Amino acid sequence: MPDFSSHLFVFLLSAFLGLEVIRRVSHMLHTPLMSLTNAISAISVVVAIELAGQGHSTLGKVLGTLAVICATTNVVGGFLITERMLKMFKKREVKP
């Protein structure tokens, strides 16, 4: 299974990279971190799109479309709310 072992390499490398990068994230940003990674993990939208667009199986189309809906909700909502939260983090007062 040459594919599988290369997948495993990719998985291990990105998991360790993720652990290193995320350990450095400031504690005060943990909530935005979670909403951002939530949006990123909705990457399954990519395969859901292929599933909803193929023409071989009705079941695939139905489940694919549902998956597109769920994943898109997370993608759009996730990035928007992260933006909304990050905008609020200010170091100094911006008072008139």
Give the Cα separation of 62 and 53 in Å (integer): 10
Rg of the chain, C-alpha, whole Å: 18
Q: To the nearest whole angstrom, how small is the minimum distance from the Cβ of residue 95 to another protein?
A: 9
Total site size for another protein, rule CB under 8 A: 84
Distance CA 72, CA 42 (A): 7
**Minimum gap (Å) between residue 96 Cβ and another protein:** 13
Name which of residues 77 to 96 contact another protein (CB under 8 A).
Answer: 77-93
Whose tokens are 């996730």? That residue is 78
Q: Which two tokens stand for residue 27?
A: 């504690």
Least distance in Å: CB of 19 to another protein? 5
What x-and-dash track marks residues 60-79 binding another protein by CB under 8 A?
xx-xxxxxxxxxxxxxxxxx
Helix boundaries (H) for the chain = 2-23, 30-41, 45-53, 58-88
- 5 near another protein, judged by CB under 8 A: no
The verdict on 15 binding another protein (CB under 8 A) reads yes
